Amino acid sequence: MVIVQSYPLAVFMCVITMLCWGSWANTQKLASKEWRFQLFYWDYSIGVFLFAAALALTIGSFGSSGRSFLPDLRQAGSSALFSAALGGVVFNFANILLVAAIDIAGMAVAFPVGIGLALVIGVITNYVATPLGNPVLLFAGVLLIVLAILVDAVIYRKLPAQGKKSTIKGLVLSVLAGVSMGFFYRFVAASMAADTANPEPGKLTAYTAVFVFSIGLFLSNFLWNSIVMAKPFSGPPVSYGDYFTKGNARLHLVGILGGMIWSLGMSFSIIASGAAGFAISYGLGQGATMIASFWGVFIWKEFKDAPAGTNRSVALMFLLFIAGLSLIIAARMV
Protein backbone atom coordinates (compact mmCIF):
# COMPACT_ATOMS: atom_id res chain seq x y z
CA MET A 1 0.00 0.00 0.00
CA VAL A 2 1.12 3.58 -0.64
CA ILE A 3 2.14 5.38 2.57
CA VAL A 4 2.79 9.13 2.87
CA GLN A 5 5.59 10.09 5.28
CA SER A 6 6.58 13.53 3.95
CA TYR A 7 4.84 16.50 5.59
CA PRO A 8 5.03 18.74 2.46
CA LEU A 9 3.43 15.93 0.43
CA ALA A 10 0.79 15.51 3.15
CA VAL A 11 0.02 19.24 2.98
CA PHE A 12 -0.28 19.02 -0.82
CA MET A 13 -2.75 16.14 -0.44
CA CYS A 14 -4.73 18.16 2.10
CA VAL A 15 -4.93 21.01 -0.41
CA ILE A 16 -6.39 18.52 -2.91
CA THR A 17 -8.85 17.51 -0.18
CA MET A 18 -9.77 21.16 0.30
CA LEU A 19 -10.40 21.58 -3.43
CA CYS A 20 -12.47 18.38 -3.62
CA TRP A 21 -14.55 19.04 -0.51
CA GLY A 22 -15.15 22.62 -1.60
CA SER A 23 -16.09 21.73 -5.18
CA TRP A 24 -18.18 18.54 -5.16
CA ALA A 25 -21.38 20.46 -4.35
CA ASN A 26 -21.18 22.12 -7.76
CA THR A 27 -22.44 18.83 -9.15
CA GLN A 28 -25.57 19.24 -7.03
CA LYS A 29 -26.00 22.79 -8.35
CA LEU A 30 -25.68 21.48 -11.91
CA ALA A 31 -28.45 18.94 -11.33
CA SER A 32 -30.72 20.88 -8.97
CA LYS A 33 -32.99 22.44 -11.61
CA GLU A 34 -34.04 19.02 -12.88
CA TRP A 35 -33.32 16.72 -9.96
CA ARG A 36 -34.37 16.94 -6.31
CA PHE A 37 -31.42 16.82 -3.91
CA GLN A 38 -32.74 13.62 -2.28
CA LEU A 39 -32.47 11.83 -5.64
CA PHE A 40 -29.07 13.36 -6.33
CA TYR A 41 -27.88 12.09 -2.98
CA TRP A 42 -28.44 8.42 -3.86
CA ASP A 43 -26.00 8.76 -6.75
CA TYR A 44 -23.62 10.77 -4.57
CA SER A 45 -23.45 7.97 -1.97
CA ILE A 46 -22.83 5.40 -4.72
CA GLY A 47 -19.97 7.55 -6.04
CA VAL A 48 -18.36 7.77 -2.58
CA PHE A 49 -18.46 3.97 -2.22
CA LEU A 50 -17.20 3.20 -5.73
CA PHE A 51 -14.19 5.50 -5.46
CA ALA A 52 -13.25 4.25 -1.97
CA ALA A 53 -13.42 0.64 -3.20
CA ALA A 54 -11.37 1.43 -6.33
CA LEU A 55 -8.65 3.18 -4.31
CA ALA A 56 -8.48 0.35 -1.74
CA LEU A 57 -8.13 -2.28 -4.47
CA THR A 58 -5.38 -0.35 -6.29
CA ILE A 59 -2.94 1.84 -4.36
CA GLY A 60 -4.25 0.41 -1.10
CA SER A 61 -3.19 -3.06 -2.23
CA PHE A 62 0.04 -2.44 -4.17
CA GLY A 63 3.55 -2.41 -2.74
CA SER A 64 5.23 -4.02 0.23
CA SER A 65 4.71 -1.31 2.85
CA GLY A 66 2.13 -1.66 5.56
CA ARG A 67 -0.76 -4.11 5.32
CA SER A 68 -2.67 -4.29 2.03
CA PHE A 69 -6.42 -3.83 1.82
CA LEU A 70 -7.93 -7.34 1.78
CA PRO A 71 -5.65 -8.82 4.49
CA ASP A 72 -6.27 -5.69 6.54
CA LEU A 73 -10.03 -6.06 6.17
CA ARG A 74 -9.92 -9.74 7.15
CA GLN A 75 -7.98 -9.13 10.36
CA ALA A 76 -9.94 -6.04 11.46
CA GLY A 77 -11.49 -6.06 14.93
CA SER A 78 -15.20 -5.45 15.38
CA SER A 79 -14.63 -2.24 17.35
CA ALA A 80 -12.48 -0.74 14.57
CA LEU A 81 -14.99 -1.72 11.89
CA PHE A 82 -17.85 -0.29 13.94
CA SER A 83 -16.01 2.98 14.58
CA ALA A 84 -15.20 3.55 10.90
CA ALA A 85 -18.74 2.66 9.82
CA LEU A 86 -20.20 4.91 12.53
CA GLY A 87 -18.14 7.75 11.10
CA GLY A 88 -19.95 7.17 7.80
CA VAL A 89 -23.36 7.16 9.51
CA VAL A 90 -22.66 10.40 11.40
CA PHE A 91 -21.18 12.09 8.36
CA ASN A 92 -24.16 11.08 6.23
CA PHE A 93 -26.62 12.58 8.69
CA ALA A 94 -24.67 15.84 8.74
CA ASN A 95 -24.07 15.95 5.00
CA ILE A 96 -27.73 15.41 4.11
CA LEU A 97 -28.55 18.42 6.29
CA LEU A 98 -25.78 20.37 4.52
CA VAL A 99 -27.01 19.37 1.05
CA ALA A 100 -30.53 20.44 2.05
CA ALA A 101 -29.10 23.76 3.26
CA ILE A 102 -27.27 24.27 -0.06
CA ASP A 103 -30.52 23.51 -1.87
CA ILE A 104 -32.36 26.16 0.18
CA ALA A 105 -29.79 28.86 0.94
CA GLY A 106 -26.97 28.40 -1.58
CA MET A 107 -23.30 27.43 -1.27
CA ALA A 108 -22.08 30.84 -0.10
CA VAL A 109 -24.21 30.59 3.06
CA ALA A 110 -24.37 26.84 3.75
CA PHE A 111 -20.67 26.03 3.38
CA PRO A 112 -19.09 28.80 5.48
CA VAL A 113 -21.50 28.21 8.37
CA GLY A 114 -21.81 24.41 8.22
CA ILE A 115 -18.26 23.46 7.29
CA GLY A 116 -16.81 26.31 9.36
CA LEU A 117 -18.44 24.96 12.51
CA ALA A 118 -17.38 21.43 11.58
CA LEU A 119 -13.79 22.64 11.21
CA VAL A 120 -13.69 24.18 14.69
CA ILE A 121 -15.29 21.19 16.42
CA GLY A 122 -13.31 18.65 14.38
CA VAL A 123 -9.92 20.27 15.00
CA ILE A 124 -10.56 20.46 18.74
CA THR A 125 -11.76 16.86 19.11
CA ASN A 126 -8.99 15.43 16.95
CA TYR A 127 -6.26 17.47 18.63
CA VAL A 128 -7.41 16.41 22.10
CA ALA A 129 -7.26 12.76 20.99
CA THR A 130 -3.95 13.07 19.08
CA PRO A 131 -2.07 16.28 20.03
CA LEU A 132 0.29 16.81 17.08
CA GLY A 133 1.39 20.30 16.06
CA ASN A 134 1.87 23.65 17.81
CA PRO A 135 -1.43 24.34 19.63
CA VAL A 136 -0.96 28.12 19.61
CA LEU A 137 -0.60 28.31 15.83
CA LEU A 138 -3.23 25.64 15.24
CA PHE A 139 -5.94 27.29 17.31
CA ALA A 140 -4.96 30.79 16.19
CA GLY A 141 -5.64 29.57 12.66
CA VAL A 142 -8.99 28.14 13.77
CA LEU A 143 -9.85 31.50 15.40
CA LEU A 144 -9.17 33.38 12.16
CA ILE A 145 -11.44 30.97 10.31
CA VAL A 146 -14.17 31.56 12.92
CA LEU A 147 -13.80 35.28 12.22
CA ALA A 148 -14.17 34.56 8.50
CA ILE A 149 -17.41 32.72 9.28
CA LEU A 150 -18.67 35.72 11.25
CA VAL A 151 -17.85 38.02 8.32
CA ASP A 152 -19.83 35.69 6.07
CA ALA A 153 -22.79 35.99 8.48
CA VAL A 154 -22.56 39.78 8.24
CA ILE A 155 -22.59 39.55 4.43
CA TYR A 156 -25.64 37.29 4.65
CA ARG A 157 -27.52 39.90 6.71
CA LYS A 158 -27.01 42.43 3.90
CA LEU A 159 -28.94 40.32 1.41
CA PRO A 160 -32.37 41.59 0.34
CA ALA A 161 -35.33 40.38 2.40
CA GLN A 162 -36.86 38.49 -0.53
CA GLY A 163 -36.68 34.77 0.20
CA LYS A 164 -35.37 35.47 3.71
CA LYS A 165 -37.61 32.94 5.43
CA SER A 166 -36.33 29.99 3.41
CA THR A 167 -32.74 31.24 3.69
CA ILE A 168 -33.05 31.34 7.48
CA LYS A 169 -34.20 27.72 7.35
CA GLY A 170 -31.10 26.96 5.31
CA LEU A 171 -28.95 28.75 7.89
CA VAL A 172 -30.43 26.67 10.72
CA LEU A 173 -29.82 23.46 8.76
CA SER A 174 -26.22 24.60 8.15
CA VAL A 175 -25.63 25.02 11.89
CA LEU A 176 -27.08 21.58 12.67
CA ALA A 177 -24.98 20.06 9.88
CA GLY A 178 -21.81 21.72 11.14
CA VAL A 179 -22.24 20.57 14.73
CA SER A 180 -22.88 16.98 13.61
CA MET A 181 -20.09 16.95 11.03
CA GLY A 182 -17.54 18.07 13.58
CA PHE A 183 -17.45 14.57 15.08
CA PHE A 184 -17.44 12.11 12.15
CA TYR A 185 -13.68 12.29 11.46
CA ARG A 186 -12.81 11.29 15.02
CA PHE A 187 -14.71 8.01 14.66
CA VAL A 188 -12.74 7.16 11.52
CA ALA A 189 -9.45 8.21 13.13
CA ALA A 190 -10.18 6.05 16.19
CA SER A 191 -10.48 2.97 13.95
CA MET A 192 -7.00 3.40 12.49
CA ALA A 193 -3.60 2.05 13.48
CA ALA A 194 -1.23 4.59 15.00
CA ASP A 195 1.63 3.43 12.76
CA THR A 196 0.45 2.74 9.21
CA ALA A 197 3.78 1.15 8.21
CA ASN A 198 3.57 -1.32 11.11
CA PRO A 199 -0.15 -1.44 11.96
CA GLU A 200 -1.20 -3.15 15.17
CA PRO A 201 -3.58 -6.13 14.94
CA GLY A 202 -7.27 -5.35 14.90
CA LYS A 203 -6.88 -1.75 13.70
CA LEU A 204 -7.40 -0.48 10.15
CA THR A 205 -5.07 1.15 7.67
CA ALA A 206 -6.17 4.33 5.89
CA TYR A 207 -7.61 2.68 2.77
CA THR A 208 -9.64 0.12 4.71
CA ALA A 209 -10.93 2.78 7.10
CA VAL A 210 -12.22 4.91 4.22
CA PHE A 211 -13.77 1.86 2.55
CA VAL A 212 -15.65 0.83 5.72
CA PHE A 213 -16.62 4.48 6.24
CA SER A 214 -18.15 4.53 2.74
CA ILE A 215 -20.20 1.41 3.52
CA GLY A 216 -21.57 3.09 6.65
CA LEU A 217 -22.42 6.17 4.58
CA PHE A 218 -24.19 4.20 1.85
CA LEU A 219 -26.20 1.92 4.16
CA SER A 220 -27.30 4.78 6.42
CA ASN A 221 -28.65 6.50 3.33
CA PHE A 222 -31.59 4.08 3.51
CA LEU A 223 -32.44 5.68 6.86
CA TRP A 224 -31.48 9.35 6.63
CA ASN A 225 -32.32 9.96 2.98
CA SER A 226 -35.54 7.97 3.20
CA ILE A 227 -36.66 10.30 6.02
CA VAL A 228 -36.00 13.49 4.04
CA MET A 229 -37.65 11.95 0.98
CA ALA A 230 -40.84 11.35 2.95
CA LYS A 231 -40.59 14.55 5.03
CA PRO A 232 -38.58 17.04 2.95
CA PHE A 233 -37.42 20.38 4.33
CA SER A 234 -38.97 22.08 1.31
CA GLY A 235 -41.21 20.99 -1.55
CA PRO A 236 -43.39 17.89 -1.89
CA PRO A 237 -42.32 14.36 -0.84
CA VAL A 238 -40.08 12.35 -3.15
CA SER A 239 -40.69 8.70 -4.02
CA TYR A 240 -38.22 5.94 -4.82
CA GLY A 241 -39.95 5.57 -8.17
CA ASP A 242 -38.85 9.12 -9.06
CA TYR A 243 -35.23 7.96 -9.02
CA PHE A 244 -35.90 5.51 -11.83
CA THR A 245 -38.54 7.38 -13.84
CA LYS A 246 -37.44 11.03 -13.65
CA GLY A 247 -33.69 10.66 -14.01
CA ASN A 248 -31.47 10.13 -17.00
CA ALA A 249 -27.90 8.94 -17.52
CA ARG A 250 -26.47 12.46 -17.32
CA LEU A 251 -28.13 13.25 -13.99
CA HIS A 252 -27.03 9.94 -12.48
CA LEU A 253 -23.45 10.41 -13.67
CA VAL A 254 -23.33 13.96 -12.29
CA GLY A 255 -24.33 12.67 -8.85
CA ILE A 256 -21.84 9.78 -8.96
CA LEU A 257 -19.12 12.23 -10.05
CA GLY A 258 -19.93 14.44 -7.05
CA GLY A 259 -19.55 11.48 -4.70
CA MET A 260 -16.26 10.43 -6.29
CA ILE A 261 -14.85 13.94 -5.99
CA TRP A 262 -15.73 14.06 -2.29
CA SER A 263 -14.36 10.53 -1.75
CA LEU A 264 -11.03 11.50 -3.33
CA GLY A 265 -10.78 14.33 -0.82
CA MET A 266 -11.65 12.05 2.12
CA SER A 267 -9.14 9.43 1.02
CA PHE A 268 -6.32 11.95 0.64
CA SER A 269 -7.13 13.50 4.02
CA ILE A 270 -6.98 10.15 5.83
CA ILE A 271 -3.85 9.03 3.95
CA ALA A 272 -2.12 12.34 4.76
CA SER A 273 -3.06 12.18 8.45
CA GLY A 274 -0.14 9.87 9.23
CA ALA A 275 2.37 12.61 8.43
CA ALA A 276 0.27 15.67 9.27
CA GLY A 277 -1.73 14.50 12.27
CA PHE A 278 -5.51 14.14 12.32
CA ALA A 279 -6.26 17.68 13.57
CA ILE A 280 -4.15 19.40 10.90
CA SER A 281 -5.23 17.05 8.12
CA TYR A 282 -8.90 17.59 8.94
CA GLY A 283 -8.48 21.33 9.51
CA LEU A 284 -6.76 21.92 6.17
CA GLY A 285 -9.32 19.82 4.33
CA GLN A 286 -12.11 21.87 5.81
CA GLY A 287 -10.57 24.90 4.20
CA ALA A 288 -13.12 23.72 1.64
CA THR A 289 -15.22 26.50 3.11
CA MET A 290 -13.12 29.04 1.26
CA ILE A 291 -13.28 27.10 -2.00
CA ALA A 292 -17.05 26.71 -1.77
CA SER A 293 -17.43 30.41 -0.95
CA PHE A 294 -15.42 31.23 -4.06
CA TRP A 295 -17.77 29.11 -6.18
CA GLY A 296 -20.84 30.59 -4.54
CA VAL A 297 -19.72 34.22 -4.78
CA PHE A 298 -17.93 34.36 -8.14
CA ILE A 299 -19.38 31.54 -10.22
CA TRP A 300 -22.95 31.10 -8.99
CA LYS A 301 -23.33 34.84 -8.15
CA GLU A 302 -25.23 34.09 -4.94
CA PHE A 303 -24.47 37.57 -3.54
CA LYS A 304 -25.23 39.44 -6.76
CA ASP A 305 -28.16 41.29 -5.15
CA ALA A 306 -26.21 42.38 -2.07
CA PRO A 307 -25.79 46.16 -1.56
CA ALA A 308 -22.73 48.19 -2.54
CA GLY A 309 -19.69 47.64 -0.35
CA THR A 310 -20.28 43.91 0.05
CA ASN A 311 -17.21 43.11 -2.06
CA ARG A 312 -14.93 44.53 0.66
CA SER A 313 -16.48 42.19 3.21
CA VAL A 314 -16.09 39.27 0.81
CA ALA A 315 -12.39 40.13 0.34
CA LEU A 316 -11.91 40.30 4.12
CA MET A 317 -13.57 36.90 4.50
CA PHE A 318 -11.17 35.30 2.02
CA LEU A 319 -8.11 36.97 3.60
CA LEU A 320 -9.10 35.62 7.03
CA PHE A 321 -9.54 32.14 5.59
CA ILE A 322 -6.14 32.23 3.88
CA ALA A 323 -4.40 33.51 7.01
CA GLY A 324 -6.10 30.87 9.16
CA LEU A 325 -5.15 28.03 6.82
CA SER A 326 -1.55 29.28 6.68
CA LEU A 327 -1.29 29.12 10.48
CA ILE A 328 -2.73 25.61 10.51
CA ILE A 329 -0.05 24.50 8.02
CA ALA A 330 2.69 26.19 10.07
CA ALA A 331 1.53 24.43 13.25
CA ARG A 332 3.30 21.20 12.24
CA MET A 333 6.46 22.95 11.02
CA VAL A 334 7.64 24.52 14.29
pLDDT in tens, 269-286: 999 999 999 999 999 988
Q: Could you give the CA distance from residue 127 to residue 134 in angstroms, rounded to a whole number?
A: 10
What is the DSSP code string of 54-99? HHHHTTTTSSSSS--HHHHHHH--HHHHHHHHHHHHHHHHHHHHHH
Q: Is the pLDDT of residue 91 over 90?
A: yes
Give percent of the chain with pLDDT exceeding 90: 63
pLDDT in tens, 67-80: 999 999 999 999 99
**pLDDT band for position 208 (cuts 50, 70, 90):** very high
Instruction: Collect all residues with Cβ–Cβ distance below 8 Å to 164 and sequence separation of at least 6.
Output: none
> What average pLDDT score do residues 292-314 get?
80
Q: Please report, for residues 59, 270, 279, the alpha-carbon distance to residue 185 in angstroms, rounded to integers and kept in the order given.
A: 22, 9, 9
Global confidence as pTM = 0.90
Q: Is the pLDDT of residue 221 over 90?
A: yes
Lowest mean pLDDT among 2-11, 39-48, 92-101, 146-155: 146-155
Q: For residue 158, which phi and psi values (nearest 5 degrees)?
A: -85, -10
pLDDT value, residue 200:
93
Give percent of the chain with pLDDT exceeding 70: 95
pLDDT value, residue 108:
65
192 three-class SS: strand
Q: Is the pLDDT of residue 241 over 80?
A: yes
Q: Is the pLDDT of residue 64 over 80?
A: no
**pLDDT band for position 81 (cuts 50, 70, 90):** very high
6 three-class SS: coil
Domain map (residue ranges) of the chain: 7-330
DSSP state of 130: S
pLDDT value, residue 166:
59
**pLDDT band for position 205 (cuts 50, 70, 90):** very high
Instruction: Collect all residues with Cβ–Cβ distance below 8 Å to 325 and sequence separation of at least 6.
Output: 18, 141, 145, 284, 287, 290
Q: Is the pLDDT of residue 207 over 90?
A: yes
Mean pLDDT of the chain: 89
